[in-house]
Amino acid sequence: MEQASFLDSKVNFETVFRTLPELYLLISPDLHVWAATDSYLQAINTPEEAVVGKPFFEAFTDSGLPWNRASLEQVRNALQTALQQKEPVTLNPIRFDIAQGQEMYWQAVNTPVCDKEGEVAYILHEARNITEQVQAEREARVSLESLELMSLTANGTLWDYDLQQDTITWSKSYKQLFGYTGQEPAYSAASWMHHVHPQDAAQIRRTFFQLLKEQKSDFCVEYRFKRADGTYADVLSHGYVFYSASGQPLRLIGSAADISLQKSHQRQLADISERFQRIATATNDVIWDWNLTDDTIWWNEGYKTLLSFAEDEAGTTDSAFWTERIHPDDRARVKASIHKAINGGQLAWQEEYRFRCADGSYKLIQDRGSIIRDSNGKPTRMIGAMHDITEKRQVEQQLRESSARITQILEAQPLMAWTATPEGTIDYYSSRWYEYTGADPATQDDWANYLHPDDRQRAWERWLHSIATGEAFSDENRWKSGKDGTYRWFLGKALPIRDSEGSITMWVGSHTDIEEQKQALLTLQESNDRFRLLAESIPHIVWSSTPDGRVDYFNQQWYDYTRMTQEETLGFGWSLTLHPDDLAATTEDWLASMENGLPYERELRLRNVETQEYRWFLARGLPIRNAEGELFKWFGTATDIHDQKLLQEQLLESERSFRFLTESIPQMVWTATPDGTTDYFNSRWISYTGLSLEESQGPDAWLKAMHPDDHQKARERWLLSVQSGDYYEIEYRIRNGSKGTYRWFLGQGIPMRDASGAIVKWFGTCTDIEDHKKAEEELVEKNLELERINQDLDSFVYTASHDLKLPVINMAGVFEELIRDAQFKDPEAPQLIEMFNKSLRQLHNTIYDLSEVVRVQKSRDRELKDLSLQGTTDDVLTSLQDMLHESGTVVHTDFSEAPLVAFTRAGLKSILYNLISNAIKYRAQDRPPEIRLRSGIKGNYVEVSVADNGLGIDMTRHQGKLFQMFKRFHSHVKGSGLGLYIVNRLLSSHGGHINIESTLNEGTTFYLYFKMKKS
């Protein structure tokens, strides 16, 4: 089929087709290009005759465009598929950088058009520029990944809504946050709206409609969201909208925080805060959380990214999963070390070992962990981080090898060469130094001792300047010869050697004898030779040029990087390596420096002609003048600063992410310098206090919003943390700028430290706790009311026991006289008399026990004395000797750790009497009764334990009723049920308390806590 015949059959084909705004090609079934729109030719910057009428792949491979073989093969397969299947074929996105240095992505759609017979007449090839979409998706992924960990620690979740596909992607914390353990989350706008409370749905729709209509980017909205159990959670959602260049909304990214939990669960917040603080102190690679109770280990995303494990291999594992992947030669040592730390009462652990990755390779790991223990010192959890130091150790080995090579090179140089630490301490001199100065290598004399007295101060100041700034050192000075004591002129130079992060690792320097130059005896050629020798020995690109700017020399570093030849470079050929965006400005600055004779300096990008890769360099040039002041030479360097530039960009991106996060959480967020000067507040602070950012910045500026009564304590507590570096926490009142009222807030701050432990920044928040404070005040009022009720109850018990005692005694006397004088003929009379006597005795015992309760209450204010536990126990055992002998009870005591307690004598005897007598009464019949009493120190208390092997108590039934009046746990033994009540009241009235552990048919242990007297 001929191109002309097709064109003839279409009216005004060229006019209509070529003016289409989209990028189209018309391709014949034999894959020749029939026509192209003007917009397509303009996009690829290629004339029509180079494309139209030619085979498709020949036209594009000969055009000089940056195609790669894989991309061409993908296009070829798509065209063939469209021809065979006669259906449109859409290619996956292809990176195709038409503009040099500009990252661009394209998506092609091949649509076959068939004739009446159903055969393909031609293919309409459309190229769509999707660069903005790809970059937006990439930025969204980066944002989601960087905020994922923060969302977990902030009790929230992240979401990503693709408007084009109507799909919502949630972070992993979604199901945990809302309780959806086995159900699918809301994956579309409709399913999401189904979870929103019906009363909030209309407002949500209006908010998002207005947001997209006005093309706003940031948004914040509150609504109620249905949990898995059917209840609704109050949710605060922050987000950001991404638009295309044409203003079309592409996607929404945001966070959702359950703020109902923040209001109602302070204990959970404290636990989350503890985990965050411990994780924050660990390294930031593979974070792990080991539950020592059930032997499960949680891993963060680093377990997949750093160690290459798949999704189903990470998450939560047991300890065997970890130990099995430790190198066999390290496994026993590491296991012994970590269990020694856990079982030995330690709080921290650290080891280095080799760990097997998913691909079978090993990484060298530095592992640190923090051990969390309960109040009894029992280890419950470990939280830590695995840091990959494989590359670090390799770099250290390379540095040692490099240092050895540098030493060999320096020894081979005809110079007095030396090296120094980053701090400027000389740690090596070449043999030529000792040969010239006559210094003793064993003494390591101060180098200034060999300098001419007139040169010492200047040389020392320049050397300190270089150490402080990292700039190259250069100075001409005179050095004393050890052979004849004469001085000769030397040119001293030193350059810093930097690692990949730009940090100085060492200094390399040399001293070149320039005595002849100073005396004008050396020729210019000799000077050039020395320059070339020095230039080839330093790790920078070095160049020189004539006064008119023609470069006549580059050192080997230039050729190694650019891969250009000397013929291609010299003169002005070097400019071909410049980035197009830097060419005009670089040329302009260079011409200006040559014209006015001033030093030249500029940051620019240079290209490797083989890889087409650009790197940033700092180019410097200095004019050299003769004795008459005439410029006769330019000398310069180009230092690779590419890594520093990338680091600057990362820092800017990190700052943007931090700002977004601080504006997304419901707290006031602030930062401060190491000396405590506040330098940042988020918008919540500004909107609440009414203070501008400038008014809030400064050492004490934030105190303007504090309640006057809180000024001093807030300032003193903050200065204490700033001076000590301790965690900052305080409660204070902050004024609402618009209302003039005050609300309680919890202020918290934590320092960020550098590798050396020095504080570089303070980060903090202010959390509204007004409702919590009001609840505390209500609790105090309730406690006062309960205390008044207890006092009334005690008065009633005292009155009842006192008023009933005499009538009962009189009743007993009357009944005894009646029995003695009267005769009873009823055969059941003896039984009735015994029942009456029994009831009378029980009534008498109850009145006695109530009197004892009143006595306990009345004795709370008596002075406490140091009492011997052994002596008091012996007195009680003497009074119980008949019960002990009859029951065969054996009593063991050990009060060696705490022989004394501060208590009232009667109270202590009453406690021990009740517990020991109960242990005898409620003994098991199938084993000899045994009672053990021990004492020890627990914090601010003396702990006394009373343990028996008796019947025990059913704790599941009686846990909440242990200390109630008249409460009994066994009915086969007589008793009033007041014993434990009296014991508890005696202890609590003097600041102590009691705990009970019991198992049915095994025994009971009572833990008595007596408050220690203050020194």
The 10s digit of each residue's pLDDT in 696-739 is: 888 888 888 999 999 999 899 999 999 998 999 999 999 998 88
| Residue reference for tokens 């200094």 | 507
Higher-pLDDT residue of 60 and 814 is 60
pLDDT of residue 861: 46
Higher-pLDDT residue of 128 and 488 is 488
Q: Is residue 45 part of a domain?
A: yes
| CATH at residue 971 | 3.30.565.10
Higher-pLDDT residue of 160 and 187 is 160
For the chain, the farthest-separated pair of C-alpha atoms sits apart, in whole angstroms, at 154
Element (H, E) at 252: strand 249-258
What is the pLDDT averaged over residues 93-100? 75
CB-based contact 718:728 (threshold 8 Å): yes
637, 669: one domain = no
pLDDT of residue 454: 92
Q: Is residue 739 part of a domain?
A: yes
- Per residue in 23-44, pLDDT tens? 888 889 988 888 888 878 887 8
123, 162: one domain = no
Rounded to 5 degrees, φ, ψ at 601 are -155, 130
pLDDT of residue 143: 56
Which among 977, 968, 979, 959 has a CA at the least distance from the CA of 915? 979
- Per residue in 483-528, pLDDT tens? 898 999 999 899 998 888 888 988 988 888 888 877 765 455 665 6
pLDDT of residue 772: 83
402-406, 658-662, 802-806: segment of lowest average pLDDT: 802-806
Is the per-residue pLDDT at 972 higher than 90?
no
761, 879: one domain = no
∠ CA 68-72-73, rounded to 5°: 115
Q: Is residue 810 part of a domain?
A: no
Residue 235 confidence class, pLDDT cut points 50, 70, 90: confident
478, 506: one domain = yes
32-46, 117-131, 286-300, 839-853: segment of lowest average pLDDT: 839-853
CB-based contact 454:480 (threshold 8 Å): no
- Per residue in 759-778, pLDDT tens? 989 999 999 888 888 877 77
What is the pLDDT averaged over residues 525-547? 74
Q: Is residue 782 part of a domain?
A: no
217, 292: one domain = no
50, 118: one domain = yes
What span, in angstroms and rounded, lies between the C-alpha atoms of 504 and 897?
58
- Per residue in 141-156, pLDDT tens? 665 555 555 555 556 7
* Domain end residue (candidates: 735, 753, 768): 768
866, 1007: one domain = yes
194, 329: one domain = no
What span, in angstroms and rounded, lies between the C-alpha atoms of 230 and 517?
91
pTM of the model: 0.29
Is the per-residue pLDDT at 161 higher than 60?
yes
Q: Is residue 49 part of a domain?
A: yes
Q: Is residue 834 part of a domain?
A: no
The number of folded domains in the chain is 7
* Domain end residue (candidates: 707, 739, 768): 768
Residue-wise burial string across 455-467, b where 16 or more C-beta atoms lie within 10 A, e elsewhere:
beeebeebbeebb
What is the pLDDT averaged over residues 85-95? 86
64-73, 302-311, 454-463, 936-945: segment of lowest average pLDDT: 64-73
893, 994: one domain = yes
Is the per-residue pLDDT at 1003 higher than 50?
yes
Element (H, E) at 902: strand 900-903
Range of the domain at 302: 284-388
- Per residue in 410-441, pLDDT tens? 676 677 888 889 898 888 888 888 888 888 88
What span, in angstroms and rounded, lies between the C-alpha atoms of 716 and 733?
15
Percent of the chain with pLDDT over 90: 22
| CATH at residue 305 | 3.30.450.20
613, 754: one domain = no
Higher-pLDDT residue of 278 and 953 is 953
pLDDT of residue 643: 86
pLDDT of residue 799: 58
121, 50: one domain = yes
Residue 81 makes CB contacts below 8 A (sequence gap 6+) with: 89, 110
> The tokens of 971 are what?
């009915």
Which among 1015, 889, 890, 873 has a CA at the least distance from the CA of 945? 873
* Domain end residue (candidates: 482, 513, 544): 513
8-12, 116-120, 174-178, 520-524: segment of lowest average pLDDT: 8-12
Residues pairing with 475 in the sheet:
492
Residue 512 makes CB contacts below 8 A (sequence gap 6+) with: 415, 490, 491, 492, 493, 530, 534
Q: What are the CB-based long-range contacts (under 8 Å, 24+) for 196-200? A: 196/223, 196/224, 196/225, 196/226, 197/223, 197/224, 197/225, 197/226, 197/232, 199/224, 200/224
Higher-pLDDT residue of 870 and 848 is 870
Higher-pLDDT residue of 511 and 538 is 511
Q: Is residue 853 part of a domain?
A: no
86, 190: one domain = no
What is the pLDDT averaged over residues 927-948? 94
Higher-pLDDT residue of 986 and 407 is 986
What is the side-by-side strand order in the sheet with 348-356?
316-318, 296-299, 286-291, 379-388, 362-373, 348-356
Average pLDDT, the chain: 81
- Per residue in 622-649, pLDDT tens? 998 887 888 888 888 888 888 888 887 8
Q: Is residue 764 part of a domain?
A: yes
Is the per-residue pLDDT at 811 higher than 70?
no
303-307, 353-357, 501-505, 727-731: segment of lowest average pLDDT: 303-307
pLDDT of residue 653: 76
What is the Cα Rg of the chain in Å? 44
